[in-house]
Amino acid sequence: MDSQNTSSTKLDVYQLVTDRIIELLEAGTIPWQKPWDESGVPMNVISKRPYRGINLWLLLSLNYERNLFLTWDQLKKIGGSVNQGQHGHIVVFWKQVNKVPEELDSNGKQKTTPMLRYYKVFNIAQCRDIPKELIPELLTETVDPILECEAIINMMPDSPLLIFTGKKAYYDVEKDHVVLPSLKRFKTSESYYSTLFHELVHSTGAEKRLGRKTITEMAEFGSEPYSMEELIAELGASYLNSYTGILDKEIESSAAYISGWLDKFRGDKRFIISASGQAQKAVDLILNRPESESKDEVEESMVS
């Protein structure tokens, strides 16, 4: 049976996560195109913290009826247990560790460096004897996806100017303009908002916002930074699509599309984790989330 915390195991966590994403892509599944809809955003059932960054997509790809998870230690504390034959699922987090050899900062304090670690969680469907009062009720209220999309556009602080003209959608970093065709030129409202979200994520990289080098240095088409920025925008837009309850019906999981990402991930084990983290920061900015809600993923034992 899996224990709760295997973060000290000497494994290449980047490779571990990348191999899982490659496995999904090879099976024809693009994890960041899976909406969470009625299953809910993946979150820890004890701490009520939603999972973020790459963990969101890793847990979403498991296709559980309810996206509610907890660690082995949490399960023991509430008197529950894991069903026979069930295995935990990987969740990654950043841990600050002392630099070796020892280095001190300007204040004489030990310098640290972030290291990627992991632990494992179980879905509530894999467990038994979880007190019913700990499991939140399913939300059944209905919302208007289009109104939700408009609300996101309006809540983004210091947003770029939106210009509706022409036949192409792009972000002009020098003018800080998002340019895209008018709504009537799109086949569906979902496609319009999905495209707009994609470009808004690009705009978060501007120097006055997140200062993301993949935008500020205006990488050439086809280069590594360009590919990274496109994945950041796609991940961010996919999150916003699910957040508002829309699904871009025009997205197709073509063989060429999947092959392109496979080549990137096989060539750079840090690519997907880095893109996911930056996409999360972009989404947090667009949704105007307070700093206290936009921290990097941490180990559940630290917050529960």
Residues 107 and 151 in one domain: no
Residues 120 and 22 in one domain: yes
- Boundary (domain end) residue, out of 120, 138, 156: 138
Report residue 117 as tokens: 């670690």
Is residue 52 situated within a structural domain?
Answer: yes
Q: Quick one: pLDDT at residue 251? A: 54
> Which residues constitute the domain of residue 65?
13-138
Distance CA 192, CA 220 (A): 26
Helix, strand, coil share of the chain (percent; to 5):
45, 15, 40
Q: Quick one: pLDDT at residue 248? A: 63
Count the residues in the chain: 304
Residues 111 and 199 in one domain: no
User: Do 229 and 217 touch, CB atoms closer than 8 A?
Assistant: no
Element spanning 15, H or E:
helix 13-26
Is residue 240 situated within a structural domain?
Answer: yes
Residues 201 and 130 in one domain: no
The predicted model scores a pTM of 0.88
Distance CA 217, CA 237 (A): 22
Burial tier of 282 (Cβ tally within 10 Å: 0-12, 13-18, 19+): buried
Sign of CA dihedral 59, 64, 69, 71: negative
pLDDT in tens, 11-35: 799 999 999 999 999 998 889 988 8
Is residue 5 situated within a structural domain?
Answer: no
Q: Quick one: pLDDT at residue 35? A: 84
Q: Quick one: pLDDT at residue 8? A: 41
Is residue 1 situated within a structural domain?
Answer: no
Element spanning 274, H or E:
helix 271-286
Encode the chain (304 residues) as per-residue pLDDT tens digits.
444 444 444 579 999 999 999 999 999 888 998 888 788 999 999 999 999 999 999 999 999 999 999 999 999 999 999 999 999 999 999 988 887 777 777 777 877 888 999 999 999 999 999 999 999 887 666 668 889 999 999 999 999 999 999 889 999 999 999 999 999 999 889 999 999 999 999 999 999 999 999 999 888 888 899 999 999 999 999 999 999 988 765 555 567 778 889 999 999 999 999 999 999 999 999 999 976 444 556 666 544 4
What's the structural domain count of the chain?
A: 2
Residues 124 and 259 in one domain: no
- Helix H, strand E, coil C: the string for 179-203 is EECCHHHCCCHHHHHHHHHHHHHHH
Residues 134 and 149 in one domain: no
Residues 66 and 88 in one domain: yes
Residues 133 and 153 in one domain: no
Peptide bond between residue 157 and the one before it cis (omega within 30 degrees of 0): no
Is residue 77 situated within a structural domain?
Answer: yes
Residues 275 and 186 in one domain: yes
Which residues are 93's β-sheet partners? 117
Residues 106 and 45 in one domain: yes
Distance CA 230, CA 202 (A): 8
Q: Quick one: pLDDT at residue 294? A: 45
| Torsion of the alpha carbons at 215, 220, 225 and 227, rounded to the nearest 10 | 100
pLDDT in tens, 266-299: 999 999 999 999 999 999 999 999 764 445 566 6
